[in-house]
Amino acid sequence: MRSGFLGIDVGTQGLKGVIIDPAGESFWQAVSPYPTQTPRPGWNEQYPQDWQRALENVLEQAASAPARILAIGLTGQMHTSVFCDGAGSPLRPAILWSDNRGADKVRDLFDTYGEKELWQRFGNLPLVNYTLIKCLWVRDHEPEIWRQVRHVAVAKDWLRFIMTGNWGSEVSDASGTYWLSVARRQWAHAWLQELDLPAEWIGPVAESTVVVGTNRIGPEALRGIPVVAGAGDQPASALGTGVIAEGTVGISLGTSGVVFWPRPRFEPPPHASIHAFCHALPEHWYWMGVTQAAAYSLTWLHERFGPTATFDAWTDEAATAPPGSDGLLFLPYLNGERAPINDPDARGVWFGLSSAHRRSHLIRSVLEGVALSLKDVVETMQALATPHRLVATGGGVKSALWAQILCDALGSPIDVVEDPGAAVGAARLAQLSQDSAAGERLRPTVAWTAEPEPSAVTVYQSAFARYRKLYQTVRPLWASQS
């Protein structure tokens, strides 16, 4: 029987378990899905009890895997917030990372403290996605629930409590709460006191590879196994793909789009919409910018206008339209937008539509709009530094066309790398808790390299200028609707 390390990922669509061997190769996996509720536009919730049932399902399957599990690592959706009573039972559905209901609480913080003071304290500015904003919303809009709160945790840290009985977090996920001094990798206790948020609600904060307890649930064969603090899904994914080197920028084209830039020290980011967070390895940090609806934009289009066609058929159809989609532009702001515009009121736009456009243009314009939104994030980050290597992961770049569009939009070669996922990163953190030298073997595995096509680069340079101008033009119209 092989020795292995189990990684658990509390994802947005389901919980995934992966087992890797000491060489870092994945040889077993299982997935257990659960639903998302949308009680109002812009609101997204899940029941933590669904996560627990999914975890128990995956642990049952893992106990039958041909492996002797040595340690368990955790990861999950960052910012997603669980509000619990003294026994650890959820008091309401978890508020997801993508939920925009707290926009007024962000404005309240700016009105009270000002941008300069918030920036000086944290090197980051508050965004509607952060756990703190969700806390302030529950406090002000659900006072009966707030009076019962005794613990607050992000998704994977609530499952950590279920598994070990211990409350707490680790530096990478804690970076997305707006409670952490990211530069010092410690809770900002004075800030917590100022906001009347008891530190005992959240427990201690550790580095990602620290063992925080032993598993007490599921099959007997998995009980007593060390549980490692783990990491948020984005740093865990970066660890899984090996994106840890300075100067290598990872672009994940998944449901959301993420630009992930490892940094060798803490540095305030170049723009308020860019996060400066702790990486999952000690003394490592990163900048991160997020496009809210990346591959989701294509999913949205597909579900409404062609659900019987395969995605491959759709991208083949998109390839029949020329670069630039004959002037058709798409802003992918279906659920508001994070980087770089940081505008929860933003909405999707097609601009330049004419009777000459076919469905192929609509599909391609969505692929291009997402690529231009990621270019917007990369260029915002490049205000302070220039990467020497771009690597791309995620379901979107499984499409050679979409990967090429992204390459042409950025005007730079892109290495498309194997993406084992956040669960593999969590398993690698479990391995690192027992073998620190394993981190030295982390390198991206390149599947192929996209090279920019000069004629398409020229088209997208012009399209990008129009893309940015279009947002500035329609922005006042969104604000007037809110």
- Catalytic residues, by residue number, are 233
d(CA 194, CA 123): 18
And the tokens for 87? Answer: 């026994």
Residue 109 dihedral angles phi and psi, to the nearest 5°: -65, -40
What's the rounded Cα separation, in Å, for the pair 225 and 205?
A: 21
Per-residue b/e over 147-176, b at no fewer than 16 CB within 10 Å?
Answer: eebebbbbbbbbbbbbbbeebbbbbbbbbb
- Backbone φ, ψ for residue 264 (5° rounding): -80, -5
Task: Tell me which DSSP letter residue 236 carries.
Answer: H
Beta-strand relationship, 414-417 and 389-393: parallel
Q: Are 170 and 182 in contact (CB under 8 A)?
A: no
- The strand order across the sheet containing 2-10 reads 26-33, 14-20, 2-10, 67-76, 226-232, 211-214
- Asked if residue 113 lies in contact with residue 107, where contact means CB atoms within 8 angstroms, the answer is no
**Contact assessment for residue 330 and residue 350, using Cβ atoms and an 8 Å cutoff:** yes
Kindly give, in sequence order, each residue whose CB lies less than 8 Å from that of residue 396, ignoring residues fewer than 6 positions away.
Answer: 253, 254, 257, 294, 295, 298, 370, 402, 403
Beta strands in 52-134 (DSSP E): 67-76, 81-84, 94-95
Radius of gyration from C-alpha coordinates of the chain: 22
Count of residues making up the chain: 482
Which one-letter DSSP state was computed for residue 269?
-
258 neighbors 235 (Cβ within 8 angstroms)? no
